[in-house]
Structure 1
C-alpha cells in the first residue's frame, strides 16, 4: 500500500508504525466494511442490526458521493447483485461497477465535473418513488465531490470560499455549515429530493464524533445549522467571500431562501442512517497490528482535533512519559490516535495537517528523551491537504537543523521539508476515508 515501503522502514520502530497505519487503512476499505455490515438472505436485506424487506420495493438505487463512494457501490453490487437497478455516485477514486454509474469529481476543491455528477445524483433522486429503496453511499470527501451551487452562487464562488475556509483553521463542522447553505444537495436536501422513497444511508465517517449531519455535509441527514450560523463562520474567520455567497446567505438568514430541513421535517420520515465505519474502525485494526508485532497498544482518542503542530507536541510528550516512566503504557508500545487536526495557513508553502503533525513531532524528538520513537501520521484517504502525499513517517533523525524545520513550519511548507528528507508517505487513493490516523512507536 505504501510506496517505497522498504526504503522508509529503516528501523524496527518505523516499520511497526507503517504496519499500523496500513492495517488501519485496509480495515476501512469498503470491500471489508460492506461485507461485514451488509448481507442478503432471500428478500431480507440486513444493514448492521436492521432488516429491510426488498419485496416492499420496485427498484433499488445506489446514490451518493465521497472518496470511497465508488468502492462502496462496487461492494454493494457484490452483495446485492442484480437486486440493484441502477444509481449514480461521484468520487475521485473510481471503481469498476456494472449497475451503478460512477462519475468522477475532484477533492478537496470542487470542480465542474463534480457539479455535473451531483446534477445526475439529484436527477436520480427526483425520479425515485414511494416504492424505491435508495442505498445512500455517503463518505468523507462528499462535501467537495458533490457540489451543487444554490441560487446565484457559481462554481467559481464555491471554489473561492472553500479555499479560504480550508486555509482559515476552521473546523470541519464550521466549514460544512457554510457548504450546506450554498448547496442544493447538502444539509438534508438530497433526502428531501428523494422523498417519499425509503433512504438507507451507509456512512463512512471522517469527522470527529461521527455526526451524520457533518459527514459529507449531511446530504441525507437533518441539519441543525442555519444561514445565520454560516454567516457567523465567515465573520469569525475573516473570510472575504464572493459577493454572491454573502448575498445568498444573507437572503437565507432573512427568510428569503428555505432553511435546510431539520429533524422534524417529513423528508426524514423514511430515512435511516448507519455509520458503518469511522476512525475507531481504523484504530482498532492498528491496535491489533501493534499487538501482533509484540507491542502494547494504547489508543489515546479517536477525537483529536486542534492545530496539528500543537497536537504533535502532546503526542510526543506522552511517548516521552512512556519511555521514561512506563506510564501510561510500558514500552515496547504503540500509541495510537485518530481525529482531524487543522492547519491555519499563514505561509506560502505546501503541506497538510498530517505533514505538519509529523514535522512538529520530529522537532520535538530532536535531542529529547524519546530516542527509539518513530511517528507515522496519515490521512486515510491518501490525500493530506492538497498534496499527493498521505502523510509522513519521522523519528529523532529526521531533523538535522531545528532552525530549518521551524522555518518550514512557519511557512506551512512541511511537504517540501519532509520530501527532501525522504519522509513522505505516498499511497495513492486508498479507497476509503476515515479521517487521520497516527501511530507513535516507543521501543
Structure 2
C-alpha cells in the first residue's frame, strides 16, 4: 500500500470512529433505560403508569433515528408520535409519523410540520408525558413565522444570515424571535404536560437555548440582541422589511419576547443531552490510537472562519514535524466544533470542504514537511453545505505544483466542491441521521 493510500484509509477509519460514537441508537440506549414501567434518564425516574399517554414528538436531522430507538424502548406504551426531519433522513416507523422538510433554508413542508407538532403539543394534557427528540437542523426544519412575517421572508432572512458568516448562536437568536415554535414557545404550548427533551447537540458549549433554537428551553437572547446582530453585519437594508420591522417592534416593547427563565411553562420540563461533539472527537481519537497515532485534541470548541481554523491547525502540524509538539509523530491532531464561511464567491461547497481546501493550500506552504501530513474535515450529519458530500480530505499533492493556483482560485470563489470533485477526495457518507457539528483531523507521520 502506498503512503497516500494508507493515509487515506486511516482518515476514513477516523471518520468511521467519529460517526460510530454519536450514532443515535447507542447514544439513546446509553442515556435512557427502561425496566418494566420505569423510564430512567440521567438519574431521574419516570413511572409510565402515572401517565395517561406517552407522546413522541421531535425535530432535527436525527429525529427519525431517535424515534426508532424510542419506539423500541417504549413498545406498546407509546400512544403516538410525529417527528420532522431533513429530506432523505426519514425512516419507516411503526407508531410515529415522519415529515421531511427543507434544510438549511426552510420550506412549506417544514411549516406544515411545525403546525402539526404545535397542534399535537396543544392536545397534551396534565397527565401526559411528552418525549421531545431534538437534534441539529431543527431550527430550519420547523419554521413557524410570527404574525406579519411570511415563510418567504424567513427564507430570505435565513439566506442572508448564512451568507454573512454569522455564528449559529446569532442566527438562532433571530430565528427564535421570528418564531411561534422556538425560544421556549413549544414548552409553552406543551404545558401542563410533563416534558422530557432528549437532545443530540450540534452547538459549541451545548447551550440549550441555541440547540434547535431552544423550543423547550428558556431563552437568554432579546430583541435588542437581534437588532445588534442586524447592525453588526449591516443587514438592515438587505433583510425583508417585515423582519426588520418585527425586530424594531420588539425593541420598542410592542411584541412579546421569547420565554425566559422562571416562566411557569418550564416547571415540568427537563432537557437532557444524550450526545454531543465531544463524543465524536473522542471516537475519532480512539480510532486514531488504534491506528498507532497519538491523539492530541487541539481545540474542543473550534469556531471562526473555516479557512483560518484550517491554516492554524496545519501550521501547528508543521511544528510537530520539527519535533516542537507535545508528542513525537505519529500524531493525530483533532479539533471539534463548527466553523463559518463568509460567502464571497459564486462557487459550491460547505464549511468542511472549505476547511480542507484551505488546509491543502497551507500544507503546500510548508514545503517538504507537507509530505508527512494528511487532513480531513467532516460534517457529522453527512451533508456539508448544499452538496452531497460530508467534507473532504487533503493530501501533500492536493494543492501542490500546478494545482496550487487552481486551489487558490477555488478558495476565493468558495468553490471547494468542484475542486475536490476533480481530485477525487470528497468525503461522502450519505445521511448519518445524527448531527454533532464537525470533526477535523490532521495526521502527522514520522520522517
Q: Which of 172-181 and 77-86 deviates more?
A: 77-86
Q: 1:321 aligns with which of 315, 319, 322?
A: 319
1:148 aligned partner:
144
Q: 1:287 aligns with which of 281, 285, 295?
A: 285
Q: Which of 178-187 and 283-292 deviates more?
A: 283-292
Matched, 1:414 2:416: yes
Q: 2:183 aligns with which of 177, 180, 187?
A: 187
Q: Is the 8 A contact 1:151 1:248 kept in 2?
A: no
Q: 1:19 aligns with which of 13, 18, 22?
A: 13
Deviations 1:201-246, CA, capped at 9 Å, x for gaps: 1111111100011001111110011112112211211221101111
Q: 2:220 aligns with which of 221, 224, 230?
A: 224
Give the Å deviation of 1:96: 1.9
1:387 aligned partner:
387
Deviations 1:176-225, CA, capped at 9 Å, x for gaps: 00000111000110001000111111111111100011001111110011
Q: How does 1:353-364 map to 2 (within 5 A)?
A: 353-364=351-362
Q: Is the 8 A contact 1:9 1:18 kept in 2?
A: no
**Inter-partner Cα distance in structure 2 for 1:389 and 1:395:** 18
Matched, 1:56 2:54: no
**Inter-partner Cα distance in structure 1 for 2:195 and 2:186:** 10
Q: Which of 412-421 and 166-175 deviates more?
A: 412-421
Matched, 1:89 2:80: no
SS of the aligned residue for 1:431 comes to: coil
1:132 aligned partner:
128
Q: Is the 8 A contact 2:4 2:395 kept in 1?
A: no
Matched, 1:109 2:105: yes
**Inter-partner Cα distance in structure 2 for 1:79 and 1:320:** 49
**Inter-partner Cα distance in structure 1 for 2:320 and 2:52:** 59
CA RMSD of aligned residues (A): 1.5
SS of the aligned residue for 1:97 comes to: coil
2:209 aligned partner:
213
Matched, 1:424 2:426: yes
Give the Å deviation of 1:326: 5.2
Q: Is the 8 A contact 1:203 1:273 kept in 2?
A: yes
Q: Is the 8 A contact 1:230 1:249 kept in 2?
A: yes
1:3 aligned partner:
none
Q: Which of 393-402 and 333-342 deviates more?
A: 393-402
**Inter-partner Cα distance in structure 1 for 2:417 and 2:267:** 47
2:192 aligned partner:
196
Deviations 1:288-330, CA, capped at 9 Å, x for gaps: 1111111111112220000000000111122112221151222
Q: How does 1:339-358 map to 2 (within 5 A)?
A: 339-358=337-356
SS of the aligned residue for 1:103 comes to: strand
**Inter-partner Cα distance in structure 2 for 1:395 and 1:329:** 22
Q: Is the 8 A contact 1:379 1:437 kept in 2?
A: yes
Q: Is the 8 A contact 1:381 1:390 kept in 2?
A: yes
1:376 aligned partner:
376
**Inter-partner Cα distance in structure 2 for 1:13 and 1:116:** 46
Q: How does 1:64-79 map to 2 (within 5 A)?
A: 64-79=58-73
**Inter-partner Cα distance in structure 2 for 1:102 and 1:131:** 25
**Inter-partner Cα distance in structure 1 for 2:312 and 2:267:** 44
Q: Is the 8 A contact 1:14 1:375 kept in 2?
A: no
How many corresponding residue pairs? 437
Give the Å deviation of 1:49: 2.6
**Inter-partner Cα distance in structure 2 for 1:132 and 1:418:** 51
**Inter-partner Cα distance in structure 2 for 1:171 and 1:78:** 36
SS of the aligned residue for 2:322 comes to: helix
Q: 1:278 aligns with which of 272, 276, 279?
A: 276
**Inter-partner Cα distance in structure 1 for 2:31 and 2:186:** 23
Q: Is the 8 A contact 2:202 2:436 kept in 1?
A: yes
Give the Å deviation of 1:368: 4.7
Q: Is the 8 A contact 1:24 1:285 kept in 2?
A: yes
SS of the aligned residue for 1:23 comes to: helix
**Inter-partner Cα distance in structure 2 for 1:307 and 1:94:** 31
**Inter-partner Cα distance in structure 2 for 1:381 and 1:422:** 21
**Inter-partner Cα distance in structure 1 for 2:257 and 2:50:** 32
SS of the aligned residue for 2:8 comes to: helix
**Inter-partner Cα distance in structure 2 for 1:329 and 1:119:** 54
- Structure 2: 5+ residue stretches without partners: none
